[in-house]
């Protein structure tokens, strides 16, 4: 991808990200101050965007979203190019966060034991970068979800 003039950029505009990712900015707004968003571009066209949660205190980066224009591509040549840009962007993300002091880059889950071909390909993609597979539990705080909904509804109605 680097030989094909793909460039790495940081994204600071929530609207740019939400438009590309087809997300509602209101839903992402509580997370935005804690996200680092990167993109791969070629000829001024955005090909891929990644958002990450970065905890500087513990040096851990967790991939939050990986969005590409892959499914909008006209043909297999363009899809392959976007796929290379995505892999390249993950690598550039790792280099960027390492330069910021990160010690761990977390791709998110693996679909352990899945027979779904799409999930198997995603597993292979993630494992293709090397690293260690670590089993962890993730928890969601229902009181925080409840609180965010109340706050969001109040800000919308006022």
pLDDT band at 140 (very low <50, low <70, confident <90, very high): confident
158 — pLDDT class (breaks 50, 70, 90): very low
Least reliable range by pLDDT among 14-23, 49-58, 106-115 = 106-115
pLDDT at residue 11 greater than cutoff 90: yes
Q: Look at strands 60-68 and 45-55 and give their pairing.
A: antiparallel
Mean pLDDT of the chain: 88
The predicted-structure confidence for 78-89, as pLDDT tens digits, reads as follows 888 999 999 999
Q: Which of 36, 132, 14 is nearest to 89 (CA)?
A: 36
What pLDDT score was predicted for residue 121? 87
Supply the pTM of this predicted model: 0.80
- Is the CB of residue 59 less than 8 Å from the CB of residue 101? yes
Taking a C-beta distance cutoff of 8 angstroms, is the pair 50, 66 a contact?
A: yes
Distance CA 105, CA 91 (A): 10
């Amino acid at each position: 991808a680097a030989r094909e003039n793909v460039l790495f950029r940081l994204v600071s505009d929530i609207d740019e990200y939400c438009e590309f990712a087809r997300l509602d900015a209101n839903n992402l707004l509580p997370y935005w101050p804690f996200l680092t968003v990167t993109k791969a571009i070629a000829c001024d066209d955005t090909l891929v965007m990644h958002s990450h949660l970065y905890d500087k205190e513990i040096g851990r980066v967790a991939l939050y979203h990986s969005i590409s224009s892959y499914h909008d591509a006209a043909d297999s040549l363009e899809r392959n190019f976007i796929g290379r840009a995505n892999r390249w962007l993950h690598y550039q993300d790792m280099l960027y966060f390492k330069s910021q002091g990160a010690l761990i880059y977390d791709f998110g889950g693996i679909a352990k034991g899945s027979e779904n071909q799409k999930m198997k390909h995603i597993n292979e993609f993630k494992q293709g970068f090397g690293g260690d597979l670590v089993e962890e539990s993730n928890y969601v705080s229902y009181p925080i979800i409840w609180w965010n909904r109340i706050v969001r509804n109040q800000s919308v109605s006022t």
